[in-house]
Amino acid sequence: MTGPSADVHAWVRLPPVTTAPGTSRRVLTCLLRAAGVADDPLDTALLLANELVTNAVVHARSDVVVEVASAAGQVRVSVSDQDPRPPRWGDGLADALSGRGLPIIDALSAAWGVIPRALGKTVWFDVDP
């Protein structure tokens, strides 16, 4: 497939538990496949979403909302939590125990950003289908 074949807009709320990243991967896999997203962008979206959900669970310790939207050939994944602190840019060193999430998202996504909310924030990224 060359791009999404169906529009999808869905979200899931997850508790701040260690199983949340795995649950988000399973849900996103189903949603992105339903949208017709090819394997390479799907794998990229799963990796990036895993980074964001893990960060939200570890740092925000609040419920996490994972949202996926695909329309007109564009795929956007958003992860929201209740921590108002913006994500911190790490140095991205391969042997570091943390700090690689945003450099990975910056390198592999088509675009990304942070939206401050009244209660927390949303970090989003786009992947090229």
Label residue 1 by pLDDT band (50, 70, 90): very low
Report the pLDDT averaged over residues 88-105.
Answer: 71
Give per-residue pLDDT as tens, 111-129: 999 999 999 999 999 998 7
Identify the pLDDT of residue 91: 63
Total number of domains in the chain: 1
Q: What separation in angstroms does the CA of 125 have from each of 17, 66, 69, 95, 96?
A: 23, 12, 11, 25, 23
CATH number for the domain that contains residue 56? 3.30.565.10
- Contact indicator for 9, 68 with CB cutoff of 8 Å: yes
Structural domain includes residue 2 = no
- Phi-psi domain of 61 (left: phi exceeds 0; alpha: psi -120 through 50; beta: other): left
Give per-residue pLDDT as tens, 41-94: 899 999 999 999 999 999 888 999 999 998 877 899 999 999 999 888 766 555
Q: Which two tokens stand for residue 112?
A: 């990304």
Structural domain boundaries, residue 12: 8-127
